[in-house]
Amino acid sequence: MIVDFKRKKSSPPSPIVIDGRTVEIVKHFKFLGSTISSNLQWELSVVNIAKKAQQRLYFLRRLRSFGLTTQVMLNFYRAVIESVLIFSITVWFGSSTQKETLILNRVVKNASRSIGRDLPSLDILYQQRLLGRATLISQDSSHPPP
């Protein structure tokens, strides 16, 4: 993928050739579970995450209908839904728009209603992940200092 940071896009980038084959130019592609767009926006990735999490909310509602305890439903939420929502969150959440954040937090709110307990918003989960990542980096002696 070529990322062009110029404000004025005068002409399309010249083709890249590797081993005699021209590399195809695409608008977006999926890499390690995240959809990366050529304009570096995360809308497609967020929509895919929200869709996957919404599909899994159905099972949470079914668990509630069976009368399972709050703790079991909370464990299910964390393992099956929250894991989808926070996958690679440190990469994309910082540059997501308010609209995208609202879409994902709506999933958390629906899950919270199904479980009957307040759940941390994605903002809080993002901060926790960033802090955890920074702590790991600062404790790693092989990591170069800033």
DSSP secondary structure of 15-66:
PPEETTEEPPP-SEEEETTEEEETT---HHHHHHHHHHHHHHHHHHHHHHHT
pLDDT tens, 7-32? 776 676 677 888 988 888 788 888 88
CA gap 28, 43 in Å, rounded: 11
Does residue 146 sit within a domain? no
The pLDDT tens digits for 72-131 are 999 999 999 999 999 988 888 888 899 999 999 999 999 999 999 999 999 999 999 999
- The verdict on residue 35 lying in a domain is no
Beta bridge partners of 21: 18
In total, how many domains does the chain have? 1
E runs forming strands in the chain: 17-18, 21-22, 28-31, 34-37
On whether residue 116 sits in a domain, the answer given is: yes
Is residue 73, in this structure, part of any structural domain at all? yes
Q: Please indicate, yes or no, if residue 22 is contained in any of the structural domains.
A: no
Residue range of the domain that includes 93? 42-139
Mean pLDDT computed over 47-71 = 92
- Would residue 105 count as lying in a domain? yes
Answer whether residue 63 is part of any domain: yes
In this structure, is residue 21 part of a structural domain? no
